[in-house]
Structures are given as structure tokens and as C-alpha cells.
Amino acid sequence: MKMNFWQAKKNLTLEVTEINEIVEKLIDRIDYKINTLKTIETRADQKIALLDGLITKLKNMNCSIELSGTAEEGCRNEVQSLAGKGFRPEQISRILNLPSGEVELILNLVH
């Protein structure tokens, strides 16, 4: 069956319309994902700034182990506080500039 010019034009128009609708839906999905990623990026930046401030504050506290082998009260409290917030011993060690063994010792003495 031979298709006439007008029927072919109508079919082409329908196909183009359908493609445009699909493109619009895809653009909406991409825009949504971009906005979601921007939100995640903003939250991550806020967390990084918070952690940077915490690291600076903790470093300024000069958290160190005394010769007697016991941690300074402030340092011990900071180790316990960070552990209570879900930080792992190796993270606490890095943040407080303490050997990981000393951090683990403090945490073990608490429990």
C-alpha cells in the first residue's frame, strides 16, 4: 500500500511530537538529578567545613599524652565525644593528632 504525502507528513509529525515529549521527560529527570546532586554537594561542603573547624579547634587544644601515660582530661573527653558521634578510632587519631594505639587505649579504659 502506497502512502501519500499527507499521510507520511502526519506520521512524521506524530513521531517528532513523541520524540519531543520523551526529550522533555528526560530533561526533567536530568534537572531533578542535577538539583539532587547540588543538594548533596552543599551538605557535603557544610560537613567538610564543620569537620575542618573541629579539627582546627582540637589541634588548638594541644591534645597530647602526658609522660605519666594518662591522657589530659580535655583530650580524653574529646576522644570519648568523637567516639560517641560515631567516629572510628583511626579517624579520631587523625583528628586529634594522637597515635591510634593511645586512642584505642582511652576508648578501652572508658568501656
Is the same domain home to 32 and 9?
yes
Query: Coil, strand or helix: which one is 29?
Result: helix
User: What's the pLDDT tens digit per position in 71-109?
Assistant: 467 788 888 889 999 999 999 888 888 888 889 988 988
Is the same domain home to 3 and 44?
yes
**CA of 98: how far to CAs of 36, 65, 90, 106, in Å?**
37, 8, 9, 11
**Structural domain boundaries, residue 3:** 1-60
Is the same domain home to 96 and 50?
no
Q: Which residues contact 68 (CB under 8 A, 6 or more apart)?
A: none
User: What's the pLDDT tens digit per position in 28-87?
Assistant: 999 999 999 999 999 999 998 888 888 777 766 655 444 344 446 778 888 888 999 999
Is the same domain home to 56 and 69?
no
If one counts the domains in the chain, the total is 2
Longest CA–CA span in the chain (Å) reads: 99
Is the same domain home to 1 and 55?
yes
Is the same domain home to 46 and 76?
no
Query: Do residues 43 and 28 touch, judged by C-beta distance below 8 A?
Result: no
Is the same domain home to 88 and 74?
yes
Last residue of a domain, one of 24, 41, 60: 60
pTM exceeding the 0.85 threshold for the entire prediction: no
Is the same domain home to 30 and 43?
yes
Is the same domain home to 40 and 8?
yes
Is the same domain home to 68 and 56?
no
**CA of 39: how far to CAs of 33, 42, 49, 62, 95, in Å?**
10, 5, 15, 35, 26
Q: Which residues contact 80 (CB under 8 A, 6 or more apart)?
A: 106, 107, 110
What is the pLDDT, as a whole number, of residue 62?
54
